[in-house]
Amino acid sequence: MNKFKISLLTSALLASSAAFAQITAITNAKVHTLTDAGTLEGATVVIEDGTITAINPTSIEADVTIDAQGRVLTPGFIGSMNQLGLVEVSAVAGSRDAGDDKADVDFDASPAFNPRSSLIPYGRKGGITQNVVMPHGGKSIFKGLAFVVDLSGEFDSVLKTRTALLVDMDASSTGSRAMKYKTLAEKLEGQQQKLSDKGKKDDKKAAKKPSQEEQVLTAVLKGEMPVVVGVERASDILEVLKVKEQFGLNLVLWGVNDAVLVKEEIAKANVPVVISAVSNLPTSFSSLHADLTNAGELERAGVKVLLSGFAFEGAHNLYQLRFDAGIAVAHGMSYEGALKAVSSNIADVFDLDGGKIASGQRADLVLWSADPFEFTTTLDKLWINGEEVSTESRHDKLRDRYTTDSDMPRAYTK
Amino acid sequence: MQKFKPTAIVLALSTVLLGCQDKGPQKEKVTIDKNPYPSTYQPHSSGSTLITNATVLTGTGELLEDTDVLLKDGKISQVGKDLSAQADVTIDAQGKWVTPGIIDVHSHLGAYPSPSVESHADGNEITKPNTAQVWVEHSVWPQDPGFNRAREGGITTLQILPGSANLFGGRSVTLKNVPSPTMQGMKFPDAPYGLKMACGENPKRVYGGKGVAPYTRMGNMAGYRAAWAEASEYKQAWEQYDAAYAAGLNPDAPKRDIRLDTLRGVLDGEILIHNHCYKAEEMAMMIDLSKEFNYHSGTFHHGIEAYKVADLLAENGNCAALWPDWWGFKMEAYDMVPENVAIVDAVKNSCAVVHSDSDTTIQRLNHEAAKIMNTANQAGFSLKEQDAIKWITYNAAKSLGIEEKTGSVKQGKQADIVIWDRNPFSVYSKAETVYIDGAKVYDRFDEKYQAVSDFMLGQR
């Protein structure tokens, strides 16, 4: 957060309960730390200048103290695999920036991100504080580069770019998936060769600044940049695991409705998976094992599970993520595992600051009336980078307009 | 439609017919078979079942605690406390909840089945703006694995609709969610047919994109009006024929038109309108359109803006079948409010329904209703489980014209019942046992009652 903005806002914020740069203490909370510290009852969390500075300190010196009265504090949840801020209305071409026919390995959509999208305040209603935005890509199997945003709605919401490379290896309506493996291998081998040549000789060509694409591929080959591979069928998952082995990729599997068939292999390869908790139909011949029990079964096999929204819900209904996590629990995932699957696991895999409640972590926090997965639970307070943020969206304005009595036509109710 | 009105017209027209068709013995009367694909549904064998000590949501606004429900001869035989009845099977439902079978008024299961491959896209006859001649029941693949998943979520009845590319998409069919190798074996006996209509962006995008009418919303309206005008003439022609024949004359029957048969069915009040229509101003126009041509405008599906015209819908007896939260996929879905259903429901004589239009959320219509109830309560409504359950049971049945048969836990009704492991409005809730006409069709703990589609057999 920019410092100058704070001074501009100070007078307004002083009136609020959680002024930025003040020390805020949330006391008497049930805190899901999602660290080794586990879940703490009646705990205190202190935040200052965007950061969690202490948990259960011996003494509290805070400008603002919020008594949670036993309510539940979690890290902000983290969305992923959607096009938040890149698509306002799916059917309106001029509001879509997530894809391009020419998009390839180095497609970075982050400059097109709109932090003022109406989807963002609505997403906050679900306790979502950060999101890993995925491009749609174009004709290439390389769909482009993920980036990370927070849901503050501020113009400096993009926290990190070039976060991961997205590759689609699932079946297509034309061609053969075998061709995709050829394309992937050739691209990686080509870059491997360039790097090896560069090590050997020091001619002008080798000294030339690498292209954007070469930079991405190098980061991928060094394991510095995760590669998210969209794939469903068990045999394809095994094939992708081979590619990981061959090139030393930092692999993340996405979709993987057949993953339970090869869960041991996935666990052994130490590869995290991103799945939808509510996928349970054989939508294609590649996903005959989609089932509500998959999240729990993968978790028990030792696979790190990340939950993303169902395809249709996408970014518009990001708020639904907490209910999807509840459904995963109802069908066998551990409660703690489900919490991690929508926060700390995502932070770990994409190397984000957030997703845990611990000293030194970014202060993205949510105070819930009770169990965050349950429908009856309300979101009482939300902090993004230590700042309390509203969860009101234009949907609330519309509801109020049409439920407020007035002598005037509705258009005058604002 | 008034029955006396045609006879008045006939009087005038029969004089015209008299000149040429009054001679000779009468030919055989031409009649239209209105039910050429009749239901062959038979309830599965069932003994009697007594469910005891349950929390019962009746579907008609009541929550009954510690209540017993007796299912006998396919019907709900008794509902009350400490029933003394003997039954073949007694289920202790202490801590569990009982609701009517869940009804989805908007499904494409079978017509857009899983797997969703090219060969399976049978739900949308995108060839002309008016395809009232197609019947979606002729597209239903009963082996869609989605039917089984929906049953596991408590869905006992569902309306299958054709898609929304066309102004008139075709006829719907209401099915009982029982496994059967034929569509007829699932067909809900005596449920009225529906006619799918669609407003707004879809027809104009599909046909406007081809450079043919409708290109605009005004083109949509022109298309509806032309069709209803033609249907009115068709109806009149048949009524003249029937009346002249009844008068002992020997008239020629009008030329049969399958497309107009469906529209005429609406004008005769036999077929119910199910109108994909998102926007407030369009719903209002569709109501006026129905008045212009003297039929009822039925249920508005996907009415994202229903909350803006909640009074109008109630005044005109329209049901509104709505999502809790889908939005933003097109402009007509931009003004969503998650309290939509609750705002519509709050009006006297309203008929708010929660629908799915999804092979995924159909499995959790209880959760869909729960989202609305809780969001609305946070906005100042005071809704309870007994209110919200109506949206997916009784009101849904009313929208489909089957509320006399199913949709509530009431003596004499079909025993379409779900036992839930807890409050069905909890995110952790699951349907444990599902009954259709008193027969157990799903049991979460007994594989014997877990149907597997032919398609999935041997695949896993």
CB B188 within 8 A of CB B397: no
Kindly report the pTM of this predicted structure: 0.93
DSSP A57-68: -SS---SEEEE-
Task: Tell me: pLDDT of A13 over 70.
Answer: no
Contact A402 B326 (CB under 8 A): no
Q: Indicate the pLDDT class of residue A324, thresholds 50, 70 and 90.
A: very high
The neighbouring-strand residues paired with B79 are B69
Q: What count of other Cβ atoms lies within 10 Å of the Cβ of residue B235? A: 21
Element (H, E) at A167: strand A158-168
Task: Tell me: pLDDT of A192 over 90.
Answer: yes
Identify which of B117, B358, B374 has the shortest CB distance to residue A284.
B117
Contacts of residue B327 in chain A, CB cutoff 8 Å?
Answer: 316-317
The neighbouring-strand residues paired with B198 are B276
Distance CA B279, CA B296 (A): 18
What are the E-state strand segments in B219-312? 272-276, 299-301
Element (H, E) at A252: strand A251-255
Average pLDDT in the A381-410 region? 96
Contact B360 A399 (CB under 8 A): no
Q: What is the pLDDT of residue B13?
A: 46
Long-range contacts of A32-36 (CB under 8 A, 24+ apart): A32/A72, A32/A73, A32/A74, A32/A75, A32/A336, A32/A339, A32/A357, A33/A356, A33/A357, A33/A358, A34/A74, A34/A75, A34/A336, A34/A339, A34/A340, A34/A343, A34/A344, A34/A355, A34/A356, A34/A357, A35/A344, A35/A356, A35/A357, A35/A358
Closest CA to B395 of B351, B341, B349, B446: B351
Task: Report pLDDT digits (tens) over B165-195.
Answer: 999 999 999 999 999 999 999 999 999 999 9
Share of chain B above pLDDT 70, in %: 95
Q: Tell me the residue type at A299.
A: E
Contact A310 B360 (CB under 8 A): yes
Contact with chain B for residue A93, Cβ under 8 A: no
Q: What is the pLDDT of residue A14?
A: 43
Number of H helices, E strands in chain A: 12, 16
Q: Name the token pair of A103.
A: 């998009």
Contact with chain B for residue A376, Cβ under 8 A: yes
DSSP B366-387: HHHHHHHHHHHHHTT----HHH
Q: What is the pLDDT of residue A12?
A: 43
Question: Nearest-5° angle of CA B5, CA B7, CA B12?
Answer: 110
Contacts of A341 (CB under 8 A, 6+ apart): A295, A299, A305, A306, A307, A325, A328, A333
Element (H, E) at B77: strand B75-80
Report the residue of B427, B430, B459 to disrupt the A interface, i.e. the one with the largest count of A CBs within 10 Å: B427
Q: Is the peptide bond before B115 cis (omega within 30 degrees of 0)?
A: yes
Contact with chain A for residue B387, Cβ under 8 A: no
Contact B374 A375 (CB under 8 A): yes
Taking each helix axis from N to C end, the angle separating A177-200 and A234-247, rounded to the nearest 10 degrees, works out to: 10
Tell me the CA distances in angstroms from A169 to A229, A263, A383, B158, one per residue in order. Answer: 7, 19, 38, 36
Q: Tell me the residue type at A61.
A: E
Closest CA to A373 of B50, B431, B374: B374
Average pLDDT in the A327-348 region? 98
Sheet holding B168-176: strands in order across?
Answer: B102-107, B155-160, B168-176, B194-198, B272-276, B299-301, B319-322, B352-354
Task: Tell me: pLDDT of A198 over 90.
Answer: no
- Mean of all residue pLDDT scores within chain B: 95
Task: Report pLDDT digits (tens) over B331-388.
Answer: 999 999 999 999 999 999 999 999 999 999 999 999 999 999 999 999 999 999 999 9
Contact with chain A for residue B323, Cβ under 8 A: no
Q: Indicate the pLDDT class of residue A224, thresholds 50, 70 and 90.
A: very high
First and final CA of chain A: distance in angstroms? Answer: 30
Q: Where are the domains of chain B?
A: 101-407
CB B161 within 8 A of CB B106: yes
Task: Tell me: pLDDT of A313 over 90.
Answer: no
Task: Tell me: pLDDT of B19 over 70.
Answer: no
DSSP B6-69: HHHHHHHHHHHHHHHH-SSSPPPPP---S-SS-----PPP---EEEEEEEEE-SSS-EEEEEEE
Report the residue of B360, B382, B420 to disrupt the A interface, i.e. the one with the largest count of A CBs within 10 Å: B360
The residue ranking higher by pLDDT, B417 or A20, is B417
Q: Indicate the pLDDT class of residue B7, thresholds 50, 70 and 90.
A: very low
Task: Report pLDDT digits (tens) over A58-110.
Answer: 999 999 999 999 999 999 999 999 999 999 999 999 999 999 999 999 999 99
For A56, phi then psi, to 5°, come to 50, 55
Q: What is the pLDDT of residue B35?
A: 97
Exposure of B287 by Cβ count < 10 A (0-12 exposed, 13-18 middle, 19+ buried)?
buried
Q: Where are the domains of chain A?
A: 77-200+209-353
Q: Tell me the residue type at A309.
A: G
Contacts of A413 (CB under 8 A, 6+ apart): A400, A401, A404, A406
DSSP A144-164: EEEEEEESS-STT-EEEEEEE
Distance CA A21, CA A2 (A): 12
- Mean of all residue pLDDT scores within chain A: 93
DSSP H helices in B82-176: 145-152
Contacts of residue B337 in chain A, CB cutoff 8 Å?
Answer: 395-396, 398-399, 402
Q: Indicate the pLDDT class of residue A3, thresholds 50, 70 and 90.
A: very low
Distance CA B203, CA B205 (A): 5
**Number of cross-chain residue pairs from A and B with Cβ atoms under 8 Å apart:** 118
Share of chain A above pLDDT 70, in %: 92
The alpha-carbon gap from B428 to the nearest alpha carbon of chain A, in Å, equals 5
Q: What is the pLDDT of residue A204?
A: 63
Identify which of B308, B329, B360 has the shortest CB distance to residue A278.
B360
Computed from CA positions of residues A322, A326, A328, A334, in that sequence, does the dihedral angle turn out positive or negative? Answer: positive
Task: Tell me: pLDDT of B23 over 80.
Answer: no
CA-nearest residue to A286 within chain B is: B115
Task: Report pLDDT digits (tens) over A348-366.
Answer: 999 999 999 999 999 999 9
Identify which of B329, B363, B425 has the shortest CB distance to residue A375.
B425
Contact B374 A312 (CB under 8 A): no
Contact with chain A for residue B338, Cβ under 8 A: yes
Task: Report pLDDT digits (tens) over B101-136.
Answer: 999 999 999 999 999 999 999 999 999 999 999 999
Say whether domain A77-200+209-353 belongs to CATH 3.30.70.3040: no
Q: What is the dihedral of CA A239, A240, A244, A249, to 10 degrees?
A: 170
For A242, phi then psi, to 5°, come to -65, -40
Task: Tell me: pLDDT of A377 over 90.
Answer: yes
What are the E-state strand segments in B101-256? 102-107, 155-160, 168-176, 194-198
Q: What is the pLDDT of residue B249?
A: 96
Contact with chain B for residue A91, Cβ under 8 A: yes
Task: Report pLDDT digits (tens) over A284-309.
Answer: 999 999 999 999 999 999 999 999 98
First and final CA of chain B: distance in angstroms? Answer: 53
Q: Is B435 helix (H, G, I), strand (E, B) or coil?
A: strand
Q: Indicate the pLDDT class of residue A173, thresholds 50, 70 and 90.
A: confident
CB A193 within 8 A of CB A205: no
For chain B, the maximum distance between any two Cα atoms, rounded to a whole number of angstroms, is: 76
Tell me the CA distances in angstroms from A23 to A17, A52, A73, A357, one per residue in order. Answer: 11, 10, 17, 16
The alpha-carbon gap from B394 to the nearest alpha carbon of chain A, in Å, equals 23
Convert A102-123 to b/e letters by CB count within 10 Å (16 or more is b). ebbbbbbbbeebbbebbbbbbb
Contact with chain B for residue A59, Cβ under 8 A: no
Closest CA to A288 of B179, B115, B121: B115
Q: What is the pLDDT of residue B22?
A: 57
Exposure of B254 by Cβ count < 10 A (0-12 exposed, 13-18 middle, 19+ buried)?
middle
For A342, phi then psi, to 5°, come to -110, 10
Share of chain A above pLDDT 90, in %: 89
Q: Name the token pair of A93.
A: 């071409």
Contact A374 B455 (CB under 8 A): no
Q: Name the token pair of A111.
A: 């400059």
The alpha-carbon gap from A409 to the nearest alpha carbon of chain B, in Å, equals 12
Task: Tell me: pLDDT of B20 over 60.
Answer: no
Q: Tell me the residue type at B110.
A: G
Q: Is A172 helix (H, G, I), strand (E, B) or coil?
A: coil
Task: Tell me: pLDDT of A310 over 90.
Answer: no
DSSP annotation of B339: T
Q: What is the dihedral of CA B93, B95, B101, B102, to 10 degrees?
A: -160
For B107, phi then psi, to 5°, come to -135, 155
Contact with chain A for residue B363, Cβ under 8 A: yes
Contact with chain A for residue B370, Cβ under 8 A: yes
Closest CA to A76 of A282, A318, A302, A343: A343
DSSP A104-129: -TT-B-GGG--TT-THHHHHHTTTEE
Share of chain B above pLDDT 90, in %: 93
Contact A329 B331 (CB under 8 A): no
For A381, phi then psi, to 5°, come to -150, 145
Task: Tell me: pLDDT of B95 over 80.
Answer: yes
Tell me which architecture the domain covering B101-407 has in CATH: Alpha-Beta Barrel (3.20)
